[in-house]
């Protein structure tokens, strides 16, 4: 250890020199600042001696000099000196550096150079520097004074939560947000708001969060499952880590709910390959923006559900069934069988309509609003009984027998609720805007299991008719949304490849003249493929009018010569296309909407019947929706159910109950139907064989729904004649 006493004289001389320097600086304002300390010894002196404002600092007293010379500064003298300086120096002084600066031998050359450089401006700018910061307490860790200041846009209580949200998004975002799109949107959203929490304000759960939680907890009322949208317990989460995690998890549940409410819990391809609706899931970024700006989070979340009248009616019925016991439904007593017999016009002994005291209860049970107190078992009641028998898997007779009565009285509430939930899901697949705004929100909706078509205009039903739909199996009518672009009068029927190769060519092997006798034309092309068509006429399979809305299933609506099929209760007989009972009135209704000034009537359309195709193009297309609604509420407010002719209800309900949320939303890639025409060898004697007709470069889809080559007719002459068109379907 160095002998301090032996070196006392040298140290005293250094202190004395420092005192002299202080006195000199007090006498001259400029000269002292023009020669700052540069050597290590001078730096050490600067570190040990406070540097007050030269203009205001008093000269050192004898006590100050004696204390410095002795090297012993007591607490009292230090205190008195500090107080004196504070009293006489209103301006801030330079921060005091530590007195244990390393010596020249202890520092590396680059460190010494750095220290020297840093020391020079500290002396030169001393009069302009801020007041010295208070030293931290012994137990308090030193803070990084170079760190960025806290974000003043975030409440002080929320800043620790924001820091933890940033950390969680960087390390565990994939655990909170299952979907990549949600994760990416959440990261961008929180980053843009400096990671401020969305659902927490001033360290506590916000009103917005409480409203969102209430909405998620009653998701079952929307036909969804509340368990799919877990909500955190903010009351139990008190630490910044827990609150940050709760904020992110509530965001994830809100994103899931909004997506399911608008687009559905499952992808429709998991039910059938014959479904194709336009995707309309909300963007995650838009959902988060909506939640951040809304004044009512519950109402904002509800807005993602369908706002259609049909959906809301089912929702109300769902609430009614869940809130009402089964015993409130009218019970039908056992009794004699009741049947309705329709009398012939000239019957000698007409059969009287049966009467029974149970009929009013039967009317109420089956939702028949008209003549509620009538005891007659008339045609209306018998028709409702037939529908019930079909829905219940019973033999459809229209007779109220013992088996039918027991089926009516048995508990069906669970199945009915499942059916309603399934059809609410189907409403989610449809576009939010069903109609065309330019046409008074007009649209066409055809309900496949109900075998009916409706034209809606200005919020009301403008027209309706019966239809025939596709057979179950491969010829089922698809569910889709497209736009009707034109009507064809006197259409040519171009037989689809499935019918050509599956039915007509095998028939030719048995009878080479069968097509000719049916009025069909066969053409064999140069590549060996076969094309069969039927020219326009009264006996054409498409009738006199075809309604075209191009789609990938190659189906459309059309007239038919088989009018007798419309009298059947179940009308599933076609190859996928839809046959319309009154096509002229249908055309009149559509044209009065899209071209009201042209005065198209059913009589005018019938006057166009002939042997050449005439296309009437729509200036503005009309949306067409083919739906499969097996449960709906009629105009009287009663629940109507229809037979699941394609077996899609069971599949839909099964997937909804499965609970595999991630796979439910993934589309299934089904094999697409083939419209190819392979080469074939025709038997001798077939008319048109080896005719080598040039079919042109158009494929089968273009032949059916291609844009006509002629320009569109002027408004005053909507109809135009074109060469024989290619078409398909039946």
525: left (phi over 0), alpha (psi -120 to 50) or beta: beta
Please state the three-class secondary structure of 203-237 as a single string. Answer: CEECHHHHHHHHHHHCHHHHCCCHHHCCCCCHHHC
Q: Residue 522's beta-bridge partner residues?
A: 532
- CA-nearest of 415, 336, 485, 385 to 630 is 415
Per-residue b/e over 689-708, b at no fewer than 16 CB within 10 Å? beeeeebeeeebeebbbeeb
Neighbouring CB atoms inside 10 A of 20's CB total: 12
Whether residue 491 is predicted with pLDDT greater than 60 in this model: the reply is yes
- pLDDT for the residue numbered 24: 52
Average per-residue pLDDT for the chain? 79
- pLDDT for the residue numbered 486: 97
Stated as kind and residue range, the H or E segment containing 81 is helix 75-88
- pLDDT for the residue numbered 570: 93
Which is more confident, 78 or 49?
A: 49
Per residue in 113-168, pLDDT (tens digit) is 444 444 444 333 333 434 444 444 444 444 333 333 445 589 999 999 999 999 99
Going along 330-459, which residue ranges are E strands?
Answer: 443-447, 452-457
- pLDDT for the residue numbered 513: 86
Enumerate the CATH 1.10.101 domain ranges in the chain, comma separated: 322-414
- pLDDT for the residue numbered 672: 73
Look up residue 487 and give its DSSP letter: E
Q: What is the end-to-end Cα distance of the chain in Å, rounded?
A: 111
- pLDDT for the residue numbered 326: 43
Which is more confident, 502 or 93?
A: 502
- pLDDT for the residue numbered 243: 95
Q: 683 — phi, psi (to 5°)?
A: -70, 155
Per residue in 539-573, pLDDT (tens digit) is 899 999 999 999 999 999 999 999 999 999 999 99
Task: Tell me the average pLDDT across 571-586.
Answer: 96
Q: What percent of the chain has pLDDT over 90?
A: 51
Residue pair 251/230 in contact (Cβ under 8 Å)? The answer is no
Residue pair 273/670 in contact (Cβ under 8 Å)? The answer is yes
Model confidence band, residue 248 (pLDDT cutoffs 50, 70, 90): very high
Residue pair 359/614 in contact (Cβ under 8 Å)? The answer is no
- Residue written as token pair 């040519």: 492
Per-residue b/e over 450-485, b at no fewer than 16 CB within 10 Å? bbbbbbbbeeeebbbbbbbbbbeeebbbbbbbbbbb
Whether residue 719 is predicted with pLDDT greater than 90 in this model: the reply is no
Can you count the helices (H) and strands (E) in the chain? 25, 18
Enumerate the CATH 2.40.440.10 domain ranges in the chain, comma separated: 415-721
Per residue in 438-486, pLDDT (tens digit) is 999 999 999 999 999 999 999 999 999 999 999 999 999 999 999 999 9
- pLDDT for the residue numbered 671: 75
Write out the two tokens for 340: 């309705």
Whether residue 70 is predicted with pLDDT greater than 70 in this model: the reply is no
Helix, coil or strand: residue 115 = helix
Model confidence band, residue 39 (pLDDT cutoffs 50, 70, 90): low
- CATH number for 415-721 (one of 2.60.40.650, 3.40.50.1820, 2.160.10.10, 2.40.440.10): it is 2.40.440.10
Model confidence band, residue 690 (pLDDT cutoffs 50, 70, 90): low
Which is more confident, 339 or 49?
A: 339
Q: Residue 42's beta-bridge partner residues?
A: none
Q: Cα(216)–Cα(250) distance, rounded to whole angstroms?
A: 10
Cβ burial, residue 137 (10 Å; 0-12/13-18/19+): exposed
Q: Residue 447's beta-bridge partner residues?
A: 452, 627
| Range of lowest pLDDT (207-211, 330-334, 650-654) | 330-334
Whether residue 95 is predicted with pLDDT greater than 90 in this model: the reply is no
| Range of lowest pLDDT (130-134, 196-200, 520-524) | 130-134
Domain 322-414: give its CATH code: 1.10.101
Q: Cα(521)–Cα(516) distance, rounded to whole angstroms?
A: 7
Task: Tell me the average pLDDT across 679-684.
Answer: 77
- pLDDT for the residue numbered 388: 83
- pLDDT for the residue numbered 52: 47
Look up residue 157 and give its DSSP letter: G
Model confidence band, residue 636 (pLDDT cutoffs 50, 70, 90): confident
Task: Tell me the average pLDDT across 230-251.
Answer: 93
Residue pair 690/530 in contact (Cβ under 8 Å)? The answer is no
Model confidence band, residue 314 (pLDDT cutoffs 50, 70, 90): very high
Q: Cα(681)–Cα(528) distance, rounded to whole angstroms?
A: 8
Q: Cα(486)–Cα(687) distance, rounded to whole angstroms?
A: 33
Q: Which long-range contacts (CB under 8 A, 24 or more apart) does 603-609 make?
A: 605/489, 605/545, 606/544, 608/489, 608/490, 608/719, 609/489, 609/490, 609/544
Q: Cα(584)–Cα(571) distance, rounded to whole angstroms?
A: 20
- Residue written as token pair 């390390």: 171
Rounded to 10 degrees, the C-alpha dihedral 345/346/348/352 comes to 10
Angle between helix 240-263 and helix 180-192 axes, rounded to 10 deg: 130
């Amino acid at each position: 250890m160095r002998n301090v006493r032996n070196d006392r004289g040298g140290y005293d001389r250094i202190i004395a020199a420092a005192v002299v320097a202080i006195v000199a600086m007090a006498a001259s304002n400029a000269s002292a600042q023009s020669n700052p300390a540069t050597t290590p010894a001078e730096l050490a002196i600067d570190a040990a001696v406070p540097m007050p404002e030269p203009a205001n600092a008093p000269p050192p007293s004898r006590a100050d000099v004696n204390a410095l010379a002795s090297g012993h500064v007591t607490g009292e003298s230090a205190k008195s000196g500090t107080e004196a300086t504070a009293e006489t120096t209103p301006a801030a002084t330079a921060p005091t550096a530590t007195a244990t600066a390393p010596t020249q031998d202890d520092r590396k050359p680059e460190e010494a150079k750095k220290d020297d450089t840093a020391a020079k401006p500290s002396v030169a700018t001393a009069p302009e520097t801020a007041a010295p910061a208070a030293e931290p307490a012994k137990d308090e860790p030193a803070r990084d004074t170079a760190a960025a200041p806290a974000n003043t846009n975030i409440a002080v209580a929320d800043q620790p939560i924001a820091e933890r949200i940033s950390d969680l998004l960087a390390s565990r975002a994939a655990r909170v947000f299952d979907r990549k799109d949600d994760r990416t949107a959440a990261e961008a959203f929180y980053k843009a708001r400096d990671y401020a929490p969305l659902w927490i304000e001033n360290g506590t759960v916000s009103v917005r969060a409480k409203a969102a939680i209430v909405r998620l907890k009653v998701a079952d009322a929307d036909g969804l499952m509340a368990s799919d949208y877990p909500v955190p317990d903010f009351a139990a989460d008190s630490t910044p880590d827990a609150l940050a995690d709760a904020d992110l998890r509530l965001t994830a549940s809100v994103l899931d709910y909004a997506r399911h409410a608008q687009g559905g819990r499952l992808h429709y391809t998991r039910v059938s390959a014959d479904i194709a609706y336009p995707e309309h899931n909300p963007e995650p970024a838009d959902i988060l923006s909506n939640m951040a700006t809304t004044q009512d989070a519950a109402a904002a979340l509800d807005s993602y559900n369908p706002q259609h009248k049909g959906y809301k009616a089912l929702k109300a019925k769902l609430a009614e069934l869940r809130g009402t016991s089964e015993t409130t439904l009218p019970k039908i007593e056992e009794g004699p069988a009741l049947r309705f017999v329709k009398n012939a016009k000239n019957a000698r002994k007409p059969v009287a309509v049966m009467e029974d005291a149970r009929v009013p209860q039967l009317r109420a049970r089956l939702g028949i609003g008209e003549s509620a107190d009538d005891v007659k078992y008339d045609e209306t009641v018998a028709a409702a009984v037939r529908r019930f028998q079909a829905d219940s898997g019973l033999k459809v007779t229209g007779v109220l027998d013992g088996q039918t009565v027991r089926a009516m009285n048995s508990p069906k509430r669970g199945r009915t609720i499942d059916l309603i939930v399934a059809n609410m899901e189907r409403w989610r697949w449809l576009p939010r805007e069903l109609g065309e705004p330019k046409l008074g929100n007009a649209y066409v909706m055809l309900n496949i299991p109900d075998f009916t078509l409706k034209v809606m205009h200005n919020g009301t039903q403008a027209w309706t008719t019966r239809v025939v739909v596709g057979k179950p199996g491969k010829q089922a009518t698809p569910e889709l949304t497209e736009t009707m672009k034109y009507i064809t009068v006197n259409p040519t029927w171009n037989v689809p490849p499935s019918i050509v190769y599956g039915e007509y060519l095998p028939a030719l092997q048995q009878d080479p003249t069968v097509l000719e006798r049916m009025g069909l034309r066969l053409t064999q092309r140069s590549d060996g493929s076969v094309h069969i068509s039927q020219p326009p006429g009264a006996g054409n399979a498409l009738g006199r009018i075809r309604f075209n809305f191009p789609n990938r299933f190659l189906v459309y609506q059309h007239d038919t010569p088989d009018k007798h099929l419309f009298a059947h209760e179940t009308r599933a007989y076609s190859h996928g296309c839809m046959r319309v009972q009154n096509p002229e009135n249908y055309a009149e209704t559509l044209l009065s909407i899209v071209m009201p000034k042209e005065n198209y009537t059913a009589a005018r359309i019938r006057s166009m019947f002939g042997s050449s195709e005439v296309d009437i193009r729509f200036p503005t297309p009309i949306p067409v929706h083919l739906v499969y609604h097996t449960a709906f509420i009629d105009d009287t407010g009663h629940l109507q159910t229809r037979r699941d002719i394609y077996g899609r209800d069971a599949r839909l309900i099964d997937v909804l109950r499965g609970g595999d949320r991630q796979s439910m939303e993934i589309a299934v890639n089904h094999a697409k139907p083939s419209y190819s025409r392979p080469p074939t060898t025709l038997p001798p004697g077939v008319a048109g064989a080896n005719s080598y007709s040039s079919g042109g470069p158009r494929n089968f889809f273009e032949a059916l729904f291609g844009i006509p080559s002629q320009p569109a007719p002027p408004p005053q002459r909507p109809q135009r004649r074109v060469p024989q068109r290619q078409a398909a379907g039946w």
